[in-house]
Structure 1
Amino acid sequence: MATDRRTAILEGAARVIARRGVRGLRMEELAAEAGVSTALIYYHFKDRAGVLRHTLDFISDRAERYTSDGDDSGEPHDARHELEQSLLLEFQDTPEVRENSTAWGELRASAIFEPELRGDLAGTTLDWIHYVAALLGRIQPTATAPSLTASAERLTGLLEGLSTRWLSGTLPLPHARELVKDAVSIEIQGLGLQRRATVRAQ
């Protein structure tokens, strides 16, 4: 029961942040959104900063879930397919994905003004970069670790920018997905060219 209420608070926080931004998050409104008392929020999360930190984790976990559940076939896929799908599934026109991506963007932007969020945000972003770099490493196993990390940083950074444009209505969804596919191809090709250049230099 306590877990259900805690989840309800985090779901409510994600909705409020997506709708009003981090600065618009008030404990009274969150309590009404989640159907709990403000005392219960403070019991679970201590203070507003605790709510924000745990909401960031909640949003990250939820994104990981829906970006890995896109294929129900049960068939094994190669690393390129897995990489493309994990990035493309960030662009689903569903309430959950829209809310999650919007809330993530709001939390990221608010870290400019709320330094206490920066460490948690950096850690979550780094986990994402490492995941993408690991998939790129399976595609181009001879690429160096710095090259893989740089490629992953470019891809995840591009994804965040494209997501903001899509959510704001300035970029059509199909075009956003095509740009992601093109970027994956370019990064994989670039890693392959680096490998061949290294071999020639030896």
Structure 2
Amino acid sequence: MSLRMLVFLGSTREGRMGENVAKCVVNLLSEVKHEVELIDPLKIGGDGHVHQPMHFYRDQNDVPEWMIETNNKIVNANAYVIVTPEYNCGLPPALTSVLDNFPPASYRHKPCGIVCYSMGSFGGIRAASFARPFLSELGMVSTPSACVIPQVVGKFSDEGECNDERIKNNLEKVVKEISWYGRAMEEMRSKEGVPS
């Protein structure tokens, strides 16, 4: 079963490494026949930061078109992958801001995989540990495996090719898990709907 997947890129820094990591994730998901789109905070509209979340507009006619379009993509996706760096031992503000722009109901009862990275030796693992409860509050279910990428510099090409076999194997494991959870949850959603 082909799934609709969104890959959320968490960084907006100049020279960000996450763009190439995210391209690799998109490539791997596409190779197993999923329909994949990258959600880049620098390209979806606004400036990547929350000013007024979609669900808090008093008049929904005032919601910007980019928010409506992105929210429709979130609602129609079967699963998500979060690609995040670690900023100050936590999550980057661009990631939380992008996700917080949209109502939790849009994400609810769908799985997400986590890919984290850093230039240091911990690979962003502290960001992953913060991501799980944050994503859970939005209604997502994170998969058991995460891909942790230490010393990310030089490990990905501009086209998203990974030159580290261990990292590539771990990314493929995340792809397998998000595919399995996505199919399983979509099957239950189509058979029984979602818990209310």
TM-score norm. by structure 1 comes to: 0.31
As a proportion of its length, which structure holds more helix?
1
As a proportion of its length, which structure holds more strand?
2
TM-score norm. by structure 2 comes to: 0.32
Q: Which has the larger radius of gyration?
A: 1
